[in-house]
Amino acid sequence: MAWKGLHLSRPARLNTAGGQIIAAQEDGEAILPLEDVAYIVLDTPQATLTTGLLSACMEAGVAVIVVDSRHTPNGILLPFHSHHRQAGVAALQLGVSEPFRKRCWQRIVIAKIENQAEHLRRAGRPGVDGIAASARHVGSGDPDNTEARAAREYWGTLFDDFTRDREDDLRNKLLNYGYAVMRAGVARALVAYGLLPCVGLHHASITNAFNLADDLVEPFRPFIDERVRERCAERPFTDALSLADRQAMAAILLGDARVGDETMSLLAATEAVATSLVRAMEGSSPALLTLPAWVNSDGRGEA
């Protein structure tokens, strides 16, 4: 099973031979088994890749993420036909009922709000009880938009003097980077299990190729938020996004989470969530959809 991410920030030429990724740089070569790598972040405009490597990455299910001039991820390359029941799973996905989608979205929103409340508790911030209580009032399809109301309270409590859409704020730069990497990880898992990333449970934009990824990424967001909070502690919010910042956010998928009774990496959690969604669709039971939660220091899931 793939368990590594590769973040490239310096000029490099990438090739493949004998099932290995070969990254040649000025100071030598780095060689990694292709089967160990889940994603590659090309965080430099001076990386060149052979078509042989790209083809091998697609065959191995490796997601390739590219960034823009501001070092923000802005694109992802994913494989076609990576599941042996691609057409069958896609047909199953397209045939789910509206009540099924609404119940799944309810579970996703509840999990997100619970993870936000637990993050506030871990951070020693106020408002934990109020946000946690709101999770108990989420209805099927979240008709009262509890997710948005909880989010406003959460952001207002988590950070001081913070506006989510300020591009010059380091916190937003870090959040955007981390969210993009996590979204890519979720999309990678979806295609690996035969799901169509464009067909969402709740998100339904006709211009969005990743509606389902945007649904399932929601409970993962507080894990990125925690990494950002830790990196921004005692730093001016006007700081530039450093290489160390980008490396930390590129590694977000290697952090820990809990899915059901098992502790695993966030990367593995994306796969566990994707496969549970397929089981939920097969059984016509939203209750089979399992989502990530925090892990206590003793290895058990948070209550």
Q: What's the rounded Cα separation, in Å, for the pair 60 and 40? A: 12
On average, the pLDDT of the chain sits at: 93
Instruction: Write down the pLDDT at residue 294.
Output: 97
Domain with CATH 1.20.120.920 in the chain: 86-293
Q: Where in the chain is the domain with CATH 3.100.10.20?
A: 4-77
8 Å CB contact between 293 and 301: yes
Pairing of strands 20-25, 12-17: antiparallel
Predicted local confidence at residue 300, as pLDDT: 47
Is the confidence at residue 296, as pLDDT, over 90?
no
Give the pLDDT band (50/70/90) at residue 274.
very high
- At 303 the pLDDT is 41
Q: Is the pLDDT of residue 298 over 50?
A: no
Which residues, in sequence order, are CB contacts of 34 under 8 Å at separation 6+? 16, 19, 20, 21, 56, 57, 60, 62
pLDDT in tens, 122-136: 999 999 999 999 999
In contact, 281 and 93? CB cutoff 8 Å: yes
For the stretch 198-211, pLDDT in tens is 999 999 999 999 99
pLDDT single digits (tens) 242-269: 999 999 999 999 999 999 999 999 999 9
Is 215 a residue whose pLDDT tops 70? Answer: yes
CATH code of domain 86-293: 1.20.120.920
Residue 72 confidence (pLDDT): 86
| Across 53-82, average pLDDT | 89
**Residues above pLDDT 90, as percent of the chain:** 85
| pLDDT > 70 fraction of the chain, expressed in percent and rounded | 96
pLDDT, one tens digit per residue, over 18-63 is 999 999 999 989 899 999 999 999 999 999 999 999 999 999 999 9
* Contact predicate 119/226, CB 8 Å: yes
Q: State pLDDT tens for residues 79-126.
A: 876 656 778 898 999 999 999 999 999 999 999 999 999 999 999 999
pLDDT of amino acid 1: 67
Task: Write the Ramachandran bin of 11: left for phi over 0, alpha for psi from -120 to 50, otherwise beta.
Answer: beta
Q: What is the DSSP letter of 75?
A: E
Q: What value does the mean pLDDT take over residues 216-241?
A: 94
Torsion of CA 121, 167, 217, 54, to 10 degrees: -130
Q: For 261-282, what is the mean pLDDT?
A: 97
Q: Which residues pair with 14 in a beta bridge?
A: 23, 49
The CATH number of 4-77, from 3.40.50.300, 3.40.50.2300, 3.20.20.70, 3.100.10.20, is 3.100.10.20
Average pLDDT over residues 208-219: 97
